[in-house]
């Protein structure tokens, strides 16, 4: 085991707080270049910072990030903020292979859940935040597979998905197909920061409960970032 793996494992098993894995699956295609990617970067960093301000949430949340653009990549694997304190910098370029990205995100979530179970760590069912400003243009088979997986997981209550469209070109119909229980929401302008503050508040709210408790989603404040 490498030193890094050892640190990750220690971080996982020495903390008795139930975990909530939050995967940010983010569109970093070329169309995000300029102000959108800058705002998104600031928003993600703000998300990290806001979670850290809440002691229990900071021991509970494990943030992972998958981006899709030039390629599909996991740029941050699930870990606590103690060992992964800062958000990696996102760069915009390339296409919109969304299906591939979702599949990778779900694979990583599955792997993390398996780790929790193997080590006896309590966890909440994961959250997947999906953000895009365009139309998916990767392999259609991959997208179809992603859709099937998402629909099954959501219906079995094993995943909560937050599909967010950015700008007028976002393919809201595809986002809707990916999310059987929750309508996709459209970001007001580039209010990424408002969204991520809201998201961290939702994590904090969850930290007031324990796995299994039904956590009402934080409907307050949703209008601060959501276009109606």
For binding to another protein (CB under 8 A), which residues are involved?
A: 9-10, 12-17, 55-56, 59, 117-122, 208-213
Q: Which is nearer to another protein, 56 or 217 (CB)?
A: 56
**Distance (Å, rounded) from C-alpha 177 to C-alpha 115?**
30
CB of 195 to another protein, least distance (A): 22
| Helix (H), strand (E) at residue 16 | none
Q: How deeply is 31 buried, as exposed, middle or buried, from its count of CB atoms within 10 A (0-12, 13-18, 19+)? A: buried
Asked if residue 73 lies in contact with residue 93, where contact means CB atoms within 8 angstroms, the answer is no
CB of 87 to another protein, least distance (A): 22
Beta strands in 36-172 (DSSP E): 61-68, 72-76, 127-132, 160-165
**Distance (Å, rounded) from C-alpha 129 to C-alpha 149?**
15
Q: Which is nearer to another protein, 2 or 14 (CB)?
A: 14
∠ at Cα 84 (46, 75), nearest 5°? 85
CB of 201 to another protein, least distance (A): 12
CB of 56 to another protein, least distance (A): 5
Q: Which is nearer to another protein, 37 or 57 (CB)?
A: 57
CB of 6 to another protein, least distance (A): 12
Q: Which is nearer to another protein, 12 or 37 (CB)?
A: 12
Asked if residue 91 lies in contact with residue 27, where contact means CB atoms within 8 angstroms, the answer is no
Q: Which is nearer to another protein, 59 or 195 (CB)?
A: 59
CB of 16 to another protein, least distance (A): 4
Number of residues that make up the chain: 228
Q: Which is nearer to another protein, 14 or 168 (CB)?
A: 14
CA dihedral 147, 150, 153, 156 (to 10 degrees): -70
CB of 17 to another protein, least distance (A): 5
**What count of other Cβ atoms lies within 10 Å of the Cβ of residue 30?**
14
**Distance (Å, rounded) from C-alpha 79 to C-alpha 22?**
10
Q: Which is nearer to another protein, 65 or 153 (CB)?
A: 153
């Amino acid at each position: 085991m490498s030193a890094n793996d050892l640190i990750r494992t220690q971080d996982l098993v020495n903390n008795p707080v139930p975990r909530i894995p939050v995967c940010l699956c983010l569109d970093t295609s070329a169309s995000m270049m300029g102000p959108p990617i800058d705002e998104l970067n600031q928003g993600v960093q703000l998300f990290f910072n806001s979670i850290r301000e809440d002691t229990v949430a900071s021991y509970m949340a494990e943030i992972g990030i998958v981006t899709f653009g030039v390629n599909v990549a996991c740029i941050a694997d699930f870990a606590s903020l103690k060992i992964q304190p800062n958000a990696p910098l996102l760069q915009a370029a390339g296409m919109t292979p969304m299906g591939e990205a979702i599949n990778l995100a779900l694979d990583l979530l599955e792997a993390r859940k398996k780790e929790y179970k193997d080590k006896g760590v309590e966890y909440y069912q994961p959250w997947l935040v999906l953000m895009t400003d365009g139309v998916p243009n990767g392999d259609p088979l991959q997208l179809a597979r992603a859709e099937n997986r998402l629909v099954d997981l959501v219906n079995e209550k094993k995943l909560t998905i937050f599909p967010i469209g950015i700008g007028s070109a976002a393919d809201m119909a595809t986002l809707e197909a990916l999310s059987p229980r929750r309508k996709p929401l459209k970001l007001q302008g580039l209010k990424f920061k408002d969204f991520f503050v809201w998201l961290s508040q939702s994590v904090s709210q969850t930290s007031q409960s324990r796995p299994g408790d039904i956590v009402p989603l934080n409907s307050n404040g949703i209008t601060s970032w959501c276009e109606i």
